[in-house]
Structure 1
Amino acid sequence: MSQDQDMPGSSEGKPDKLEDNQQENAENSEQSVRKKIRQNPPTPSRSDTLEPSPPQFVSMEELMETAKGVTNMVLAHEIVVNGGFQIKPSDLPENSLEKRVRDIVHKAFWDCLETQLKEDPPSYDHAIKLVGEIKETLLSFLLPGHTRLRNQITEALDLELIKQEAENGALDISKMVEFIIGMMGTLCAPARDEEIKKLKDIHEIVPLFRAIFSVLDLMKMDMANFAVSSIRPHLMQQSVEYERKKFQELYEKQPNSLDFVTAWLQEAADDLKSRAALAVDDGTTSASGTAVLCPVAIQNHAYLKLLKWNHLQKPFPETVLMDQSRFQEMQLDLDQLILTGAVLLVTLSAAGTALSGLPGFSDKLKMVIRVLLSGLHLPSFNLNEALAILSEKICAEVNSSLSQHGYTPFTAEKETVLKGQVQALASPDNSVCKLIDSRIQAYLESYLASGHQKSLPAVPGGLSSVQKELEEIAVKYVRLVNYNKMVFSPYYDVVLNKILNKEESPKLCG
């Protein structure tokens, strides 16, 4: 979570620094929770609930082929459903054995190169090998039509000629490196211009070679990410067919592979029936107006249930298992968004029109809320204590803004009421939190029901202060759901038909 440098707090340096450290620690802990979810989603295993299948003997070749298929499928799935997917450099943990070994090997290599260059006469064997690697890397960045650039690189980095020049003491390393840096500047993304500029300020050969390889690694990553963004549209259909094929293979081996899916969709259908019956009892609709049990409505409601899933108690549906960690992270985001929206709604209602329309006021409050609720999902987090501190800061910020804009600050009595309303949000039955939650659910449901329309539905009243955050979650959520529908719709259709045919008088959507 980002932190606003202008966040209200003590004017003394040490308390500010202490608060910054507390926020950083809370954010790091929150990230560790999310990382744990991604690495090990806590869904009960099928063996906990079903009789295991008889053991089957699988050859090593079959095992390796299956592993390769699963890896490819997961990578393709990640690229398709994650609009912000990027390949990033892998950083080894500090003080880890792998990092120490890598650093020792790298140091030995570069020390060897430096020793060779300091010989009299200098030995260029290592340096020429490095130039060969640089040449191949530069050529790999070229497209088929880059004939002129290809010829320039091939001619300027002719290894045989460079070797002859080195043997005859006529090698001009500075000129060669100047060409390499210039070509890197031609081929790199604009974001790397600063790194290229820094290379020109390095004059010692060994540090310069190290820096060149470091920038080339970044350029390789840029090229890979460009390729990912280019192939995403073409990968979509192939990935849909591939995942469906893999699931079909699993289904043929284990016909009970849709048991949890069936239970999930049946529960969604039961929820809708109960909701319709309740509406009739309340008099909000007639029995003839309960046309709710259609496949689309059941399916959309089922997807909403994934955002409220008890991952420790209930097995996750088989067809969304690959995305379980994504749904869990969305749950974390929505929990925090509900509480943030509730605090803002209570505060802005108390402040009235004086501050509700003030530019930047909601964002400033939101930053304070985020800082103090950043550890919300940690086992050690004390919500009552956090909201008590938050209520003090909220009142201080409100009074400061009121005074600044010429309004009368809150009275002590009004402050007490606002603090009480903020602290009451800790209760699971709090009506404001329930209101925010139900409106968020309604918004997501209407977004799902809108199909593939490009425009987002209108945000319900009371959520305008968290509109940006809600829309970001909604876009990720609907992208994930729509992709899942494309892959598994044939299986859902079969299950839903069975559910609807069981009803005494199934009512279908018009």
Structure 2
Amino acid sequence: MESKDKKKKAELAVKKPSRTPHPIGKKLNRNFNTSDIKEKVKSSDMLREERRNKMNENFSRVKERAQELQKIREHQNNLLLKSLELAELNRKQRIEQRRAASKKVVERAKTVVLQNKRRSKEEQERRRAELENRIEKTEARRLAHLNRYKKHKSKDTAAITSSVNSNHTASTMSATTAVVPSTSQESSEPIKKKKPSSWSVIRKLFRELELPSPSSPETWLQFNALSQLLHQPKVIVVTTKVLNTALKLVDNDSHHRARVLLTSYMMLMCPEEILQNLDSEEEKKLHDSAKHMLHLFETWLNAHGRPGATAARLAFVEAWNDYNILFESWKSRDRDQLIENMIAYYVQLSTLRQTMIAHQNGDRSVGDQLQQQLDQIKHKLQKIGGTAALEGLQRALEHVTASTSSGRRKQQENVKPRTPDLEEQSSTSQVNKDQLNDILSGYAPSHLTNLQLAHELILEPDFGLEHYLPNDENELEQRIKEIAERAFFDKIREEIEQGNITTCVPPLVQDIQKRLLSLVRPGTTLYQRIEQGLDLDFIQQQLDQNIFDIQKTIQYVLDTMASMCAPVRDKEIEAARHLDADPVEQIKRIFHLLDNMSLDLANFRLRALRRPLMPIAIDYEREKFAEMLSSGMIPLVKTKGWLNESCERLRQVAAQRNPEKVQQAHSARPTHDAIFEEAFVSLLSQPQILTRDKLPETLFLDVRRMQEFQNEFQANTMVAALLMLARNFGSASSQALSELGVKLFTMLKDKSTTVEHLAAEIERTVGDLRPERRQMIRNMVDKTLSHNDTVYSLLSRRVALVIKSTIQNKQFVSDAVITSNGLEHIRSNLQALTQRILKLVQHHRQVYASWYDTIIHDALADHVE
């Protein structure tokens, strides 16, 4: 029952609705109001908008404040910059004011110094005149007192010696009366004047010469009359004494200086007859200098015995030195031109003499007359130009001899390129081998040994030293040198612009003086003039007194260099003169010019050394090579291999010609000369580039020369092959092929030339071709230039054969041989190459013959075994 009751209750409980949702729903429905929610939402939006506006206002205020701060900072920076600019402007103005004030002080100091000097000189002159006056009065009183003493003594002597014979007494009294006047005569007659000075006498004699006055044109004479007057011996002697007095100098050149001074009269009064072109800058400058110098000379003569005579003399001396430099430069140019003309005339006359002798069948009468004229010209050359002129004549004769066929044959017969008429003079200028090292050491640059220098002098008549220029591998060295030089001259420029020249000028002047003196023989007039013109003590005094004129010193150096340098440097001298607005650049040019002048002098001395070097060059090189062999510096391994290979090649050629292996006589074996010639030509014909590693030890001195020979050998072969190709492709004339050969040689020297360029040149020569033939030409050109090509190999063997034949016969092959080998269009180039090769081969045979013979003998002996 109870379970049933419980079940019923449960059912009732399930059917009864829940109470919980009813109150919540009722509550929500009772309190729900949409207007309150909208107001609250609206107030919340307003609150958020208000906060947003406040944040925007705060951001705007912060931004405005930041902009204000930025403007304040910019304003402060602008004020600072303006302050700095104003300070810099004030500093510059202060510096300029101080500089102007210093300049005024310096100018004032200079004026005071000059005034003091003038007053000092005037005071010295016054005291000198006063002293001379006192000396004259003292001398007069002394003479008067001496006369009175002698008179008194003579009276006592006459009384004591009355016993002496009358004749002796009469003569003594007469002499005493003549020498010692009486007291009454002494009071009535004036005292004798002092004997005039020697300068007064010289000056009087010069006035008596009645030379025209430079400042009075109405006294000037015509050319003939003036020339006769100035050439009188008395005029030259008196002028010499006057000039010696002015210069305070007496030496062996006194008469020469007097003639130079008298020449200035001719130059001033008759310029049309003396100067060639008055419009030229150099001769106009010389004329103005002569006029200025003569006016100062006349002023000095008129200032004798007056204040300022010493200053007038010093001014004349300075003007004289300037004129003398210009005159010597002008005279040297005329002398050089005269020497050049005389040498050309001598060469023409010598050629005419040889031609006349050759065409007169042994009749030498005309030749003897021409020889007398040649001797006279040579004597005049030696008198005008000295040893240098004779050396120039020798070089001209060597050049003419080498350019003629007879001269070439003579050079092939004799290694020494020396003309017969100067053969006898060689003994006086020879040097021994012990002295040669010392001589060459003075000229050999750092990259050339004495042996190399002697070798080049013998094989290259026109050899000359050049400035060492680093190659591409040593570009850093060149850059460092340029930077150091730029820094050096920038430092000098800075010191000069700052007015601080006391530290930089003395070393520069000392270096320039040292270099100039190294170019002049000690003891000469020019040597002394350079020492005096660049007196370091005097320049230091000028620097201490702040009166040194750097531009005047630079012009003096340039004038001196112009009188010393070779004519080829004249343009550089003039270019340096025109840079007077930039003294630092002028100094830089001067140093470069001094380097070039030193090089010119070294080359001149080397050319003079070549003639005495010729007789001993072979022995010198042979002994040097033997010393290197004995010391182990070089072996002969490569030389032995080189000659053995040549011997083997000739043996193989002989074997090919004797396939039956018939026993041949001993004379059929290859000779030493044939083996050497084959070895030498094989070096040139090989396709590999010749280097020091690929050359025998005996050719180490000729690496560069052998490379040039190889390049020219290949160029001749290429041009010959291309000309053969052009001949086969068309019907070009012989002249057109010769012109094409010249063009091809020129094109091969240009590194930018390509196969297309060569083919196009051949097409223009051959003529109008079809497109397919043009393409064929291009292909054939490309193929022909290959070392493996059949045509190239054929022409290479032919060129080698011509060179070998020239070496064997010591003369170039005949035209028939050239034509048969198809080389007639490259004859001139091939002949020039073979002559150079022949000269080198002959030299090597003479130097290294003993070693070559030993190696070849051993190689032939091994072959026989």
Q: Fold-level match, TM-score > 0.5? A: yes
Label 1:227 to 1:114 Cα distance change in 2 as closer, same or farther (>3 A): same
Contact 1:395–1:415, Cα closer than 8 Å, also in 2: no
Q: CA deviation at 1:422?
A: 2.8
Comparing 254-263 and 473-482, the one that deviates more:
254-263
Q: Does 1:135 align with 2:513?
A: yes
Contact 1:348–1:356, Cα closer than 8 Å, also in 2: no
Q: Give distance in 1, aligned partners of 2:595 and 2:654.
A: 59
Comparing 417-426 and 91-100, the one that deviates more:
91-100
Q: CA deviation at 1:437?
A: 0.9
Alignment of 1:341-352 (within 5 A): 341-352=720-731
Number of residue pairs the alignment of both structures matches = 411
Tell me the amino acid that sits aligned with residue 765 of structure 2.
Answer: V
Alignment of 1:126-275 (within 5 A): 126-143=504-521, 147-203=524-580, 204-235=582-613, 238-252=616-630, 257-275=635-653
Contact 1:341–1:436, Cα closer than 8 Å, also in 2: yes
Q: CA deviation at 1:137?
A: 1.6
Higher relative contact order (CA 8 A, sep 6+): 1
Q: CA deviation at 1:276?
A: 4.0
Corresponding residue number in structure 2 for 1:397:
764
Label 1:143 to 1:342 Cα distance change in 2 as closer, same or farther (>3 A): farther
Q: CA deviation at 1:444?
A: 1.2
Q: Give distance in 1, aligned partners of 2:575 and 2:799.
A: 49
1:465 to 810, 825, 848: 825
Q: CA deviation at 1:242?
A: 4.1
Corresponding residue number in structure 2 for 1:304:
681
Label 1:154 to 1:289 Cα distance change in 2 as closer, same or farther (>3 A): same
Q: Give distance in 1, aligned partners of 2:691 and 2:624.
A: 27
Q: Deviations over 1:435-483 (max 9, x none)?
A: 32122111211222234x6x78767233233334434433443333333
Tell me the amino acid that sits aligned with residue 818 of structure 2.
Answer: P
Q: CA deviation at 1:342?
A: 0.7
Label 1:96 to 1:468 Cα distance change in 2 as closer, same or farther (>3 A): same
Q: CA deviation at 1:417?
A: 5.5
Q: Does 1:490 align with 2:859?
A: no
Q: Give distance in 1, aligned partners of 2:590 and 2:634.
A: 55
Q: CA deviation at 1:199?
A: 1.0
Label 1:497 to 1:128 Cα distance change in 2 as closer, same or farther (>3 A): same
Q: Give distance in 2, aligned partners of 1:176 and 1:340.
A: 58
Q: Give distance in 1, aligned partners of 2:858 and 2:501.
A: 78
Q: CA deviation at 1:351?
A: 3.7
Contact 1:260–1:318, Cα closer than 8 Å, also in 2: yes
Q: CA deviation at 1:75?
A: 4.2
Q: Give distance in 1, aligned partners of 2:517 and 2:856.
A: 54
Q: Give distance in 2, aligned partners of 1:428 and 1:222.
A: 43
Label 1:355 to 1:322 Cα distance change in 2 as closer, same or farther (>3 A): closer
Label 1:210 to 1:249 Cα distance change in 2 as closer, same or farther (>3 A): closer
**Structure 1: gaps of 5 or more residues:** 1-67, 375-385, 403-408, 506-510
Contact 1:244–1:488, Cα closer than 8 Å, also in 2: yes
Q: Deviations over 1:268-293 (max 9, x none)?
A: 233334434545669xxx96797462
Tell me the amino acid that sits aligned with residue 496 of structure 1.
Answer: I
Q: Give distance in 2, aligned partners of 1:369 and 1:69.
A: 30
User: What is the aligned-residue identity percentage?
Assistant: 25
Q: Does 1:450 align with 2:809?
A: yes
Q: Does 1:123 align with 2:501?
A: yes
Label 1:76 to 1:281 Cα distance change in 2 as closer, same or farther (>3 A): same
Label 1:393 to 1:220 Cα distance change in 2 as closer, same or farther (>3 A): same
Tell me the amino acid that sits aligned with residue 538 of structure 2.
Answer: L
Tell me the amino acid that sits aligned with residue 136 of structure 1.
Answer: K
Q: Give distance in 2, aligned partners of 1:313 and 1:181.
A: 45
Corresponding residue number in structure 2 for 1:480:
840
Corresponding residue number in structure 2 for 1:113:
492
| Secondary structure, counterpart of 1:352 in structure 2 | coil
Q: Give distance in 1, aligned partners of 2:667 and 2:752.
A: 41
Contact 1:295–1:493, Cα closer than 8 Å, also in 2: yes
Tell me the amino acid that sits aligned with residue 489 of structure 1.
Answer: A
Comparing 355-364 and 173-182, the one that deviates more:
355-364
TM-score, normalization: structure 2? 0.42
| Secondary structure, counterpart of 1:460 in structure 2 | helix
Contact 1:369–1:390, Cα closer than 8 Å, also in 2: no
Contact 1:344–1:365, Cα closer than 8 Å, also in 2: no
Label 1:233 to 1:291 Cα distance change in 2 as closer, same or farther (>3 A): farther
Tell me the amino acid that sits aligned with residue 650 of structure 2.
Answer: L
Contact 2:506–2:536, Cα closer than 8 Å, also in 1: yes
Q: Give distance in 2, aligned partners of 1:313 and 1:161.
A: 56
Q: CA deviation at 1:168?
A: 3.2
Q: CA deviation at 1:209?
A: 0.9
Q: Deviations over 1:192-237 (max 9, x none)?
A: 1111110110112222111111111122222222233332344455
Q: CA deviation at 1:130?
A: 1.5
Q: Give distance in 1, aligned partners of 2:467 and 2:835.
A: 27
| Secondary structure, counterpart of 2:504 in structure 1 | helix
| Secondary structure, counterpart of 2:466 in structure 1 | coil
Contact 1:272–1:292, Cα closer than 8 Å, also in 2: no
Label 1:372 to 1:395 Cα distance change in 2 as closer, same or farther (>3 A): farther
Q: Give distance in 2, aligned partners of 1:154 and 1:215.
A: 19
Contact 2:493–2:584, Cα closer than 8 Å, also in 1: yes
| Secondary structure, counterpart of 2:548 in structure 1 | coil
Corresponding residue number in structure 2 for 1:438:
797
Contact 2:736–2:765, Cα closer than 8 Å, also in 1: no
Q: CA deviation at 1:138?
A: 1.8
Contact 1:443–1:457, Cα closer than 8 Å, also in 2: no
Q: CA deviation at 1:301?
A: 1.7
Tell me the amino acid that sits aligned with residue 330 of structure 1.
Answer: F
Label 1:276 to 1:222 Cα distance change in 2 as closer, same or farther (>3 A): same
Q: Does 1:363 align with 2:363?
A: no
Label 1:444 to 1:154 Cα distance change in 2 as closer, same or farther (>3 A): same
Corresponding residue number in structure 2 for 1:16:
none
Q: CA deviation at 1:343?
A: 0.8
TM-score, normalization: structure 1? 0.67
Tell me the amino acid that sits aligned with residue 394 of structure 1.
Answer: E
Q: CA deviation at 1:425?
A: 1.2
Contact 2:737–2:825, Cα closer than 8 Å, also in 1: no
Tell me the amino acid that sits aligned with residue 493 of structure 1.
Answer: D
Q: CA deviation at 1:305?
A: 2.1
Q: Does 1:318 align with 2:697?
A: yes
Tell me the amino acid that sits aligned with residue 339 of structure 1.
Answer: M
| Secondary structure, counterpart of 1:86 in structure 2 | coil
Q: Give distance in 2, aligned partners of 1:497 and 1:234.
A: 35
Corresponding residue number in structure 2 for 1:337:
716
**Structure 2: gaps of 5 or more residues:** 1-445
Corresponding residue number in structure 1 for 2:192:
none
Q: Does 1:293 align with 2:670?
A: yes
Q: Give distance in 2, aligned partners of 1:372 and 1:156.
A: 52
Higher helix share: 2
Which is higher, the Rg of structure 1 or of structure 2?
2
